[in-house]
Amino acid sequence: MAALFKQKIYLVLLLGFFSFVLGCPQQNVPTEKAGVQPAAQTDTLSRQDDSLSRANAGVTVSRRNAITRAAAEAGPAVVGINVIQVKRYVRRSPFYTEDPFWRALFPEYFRDKVYEQKVQSLGSGFIISKDGYLVTNQHVVEDATEIIVTLPGGERHNAKIVGTDEISDIALLKIEGKNFPFLKLGDSDNVIVGEWVIALGNPFGLFELNDQPTVTVGVVSAVNRDWGQMPNSRRIYMDMIQTDAAINHGNSGGPLVNAAGEVIGMNTFIYTGSTYEQGFVGIGFAIPINRIKNIIKQIRERGEVDRDFWLGFRVQDLNPYLIRALQLNVREGVIVTQIDRGSSADRAGPEYRKPEEYSFPDGFTGRGYSGF
């Protein structure tokens, strides 16, 4: 009986032991299979790091595109221009009269007073040859007594005027030195509407802050914009390149560059829509580089642009009404409105005085009065 009782006690203890063992929470005891887990986690993290590195590398590559390369290539040849100008002002006499008798009798009362004032202005320019020739707008250096050109990096030079042309608003300057960085001149006849362009220059004199040009980016909005002759000026703007790259006061004379780093035009003026609002509104205009190349070639060869001719007649633009009334087989052009007596046109004979279609020399691309 005692032996049977002991067997039951042992059986109960044995069952209790197994229940305790099976009921205890299992510990994460390292095993060979468990030992694989840290290696797998390390491999996953490594792949994530590689993906992040490749993504960062892709961003870095995408930041260096055609625009940034063109800006970096053009920047060293863009200059800031500071000009001291002498402006002449006329103050009309309060006793002004057109009567020659009184003007001759009391000249001191009726004579207009002319006085001069020195003013400082600024603009932009770009170097076109390693020996220091550079281009800007004529209105930037008009009436200049001193011209200081600042190169990227801070080097300053006194510039002299080689020649200017008011009608085309182009000026050629020269600074002394050698091995200057210079820009490649492109072909404005191949400009594509919608292509990316870069305007570089010295807006508001910002070039002076760190001796570096300001870069703005846009597209070619239109080509062949004809403005004709400006009010109170001899300047005629035709075949202008329109862009939405930001152009402001001080950008005049700076280059308009395509994505290949070639100059396609010279930034010249903006349209604001108001005489009171002078800021940029997305409409700027540049002189085509092909016209600039033609003008500076003449300036370098002769010191001026040869426009010393007189045909002896006056013209005006053709409009749809005149084309219909005269039954002309053209869409644009000019019509002779006056022939000066004794001129070459007058001596040419009456057969040239009636509306006709005439052929022009090769290379004549003018449209309307300004082109003519």
Q: Residue 116's beta-bridge partner residues?
A: 88
| 252 among known catalytic residues | yes
Q: Which of 168, 188, 221, 252 is catalytic?
A: 252
| 362 among known catalytic residues | no
Q: How far is it, in rounded angstroms, from Cα 342 to Cα 136?
A: 40
User: What pTM does this model have?
Assistant: 0.67
Q: How far is it, in rounded angstroms, from Cα 81 to Cα 283?
A: 23
Q: How far is it, in rounded angstroms, from Cα 205 to Cα 203?
A: 5
Q: How far is it, in rounded angstroms, from Cα 186 to Cα 86?
A: 35
Domains 77-174 and 184-302 share a fold: yes
- The CATH classification number of 77-174 equals 2.40.10.10
User: Do 353 and 336 contact (CB within 8 A), yes or no?
Assistant: yes
| 344 among known catalytic residues | no
Residue 119: half-sphere exposure toward Cβ, Cα within 13 Å: 12
Q: What six digits make up the tokens of 102?
A: 């009184």
In the chain, where are the structural domains located?
77-174, 184-302, 313-371
Q: How far is it, in rounded angstroms, from Cα 164 to Cα 172?
A: 6
Residue range 184-302 in CATH 2.40.10.10: yes
> Which of 168, 218, 227, 226 lies closest to 193, judged by CA?
218
Q: What is the dihedral of CA 320, 326, 332, 337, to 10 degrees?
A: -110
Q: What six digits make up the tokens of 118?
A: 């020195």
Q: What six digits make up the tokens of 219?
A: 């597209």
Return the residue matching tokens 């200081």: 148
Residue-level pLDDT, tens digit, the chain, 372 residues = 555 555 555 555 555 555 554 455 544 544 444 444 555 566 666 666 666 666 666 666 678 899 999 999 999 999 999 999 877 777 776 666 666 766 666 676 666 777 777 888 899 999 999 999 999 999 999 989 999 999 999 999 999 999 999 999 999 999 999 999 999 999 999 999 999 999 999 999 999 899 999 999 999 999 999 888 787 788 889 899 999 999 999 999 999 999 999 999 999 999 876 555 566 777 999 999 999 999 999 999 988 887 655 566 666 777 787 788 888 787 777 777 777 666 666 776 655 545 444 545 554 545 555 555
Alpha helices (H) along 64-132 = 66-74, 100-105, 107-110
CB atoms within 10 A of CB 70: 22
Q: What's CA 232's distance to the chain center, in Å? A: 25
User: Do 67 and 196 contact (CB within 8 A), yes or no?
Assistant: yes
Q: How far is it, in rounded angstroms, from Cα 345 to Cα 36?
A: 101
Q: What six digits make up the tokens of 106?
A: 């009391």
Q: What six digits make up the tokens of 230?
A: 């400006």
User: Do 192 and 295 contact (CB within 8 A), yes or no?
Assistant: no
Collect all residues with Cβ–Cβ distance below 8 Å to 55 and sequence separation of at least 6: none
Q: Which of 121, 124, 157, 169 is catalytic?
A: 169
| Rg (the chain; Cα; Å) | 39
Q: Which of 121, 124, 139, 165 is catalytic?
A: 139
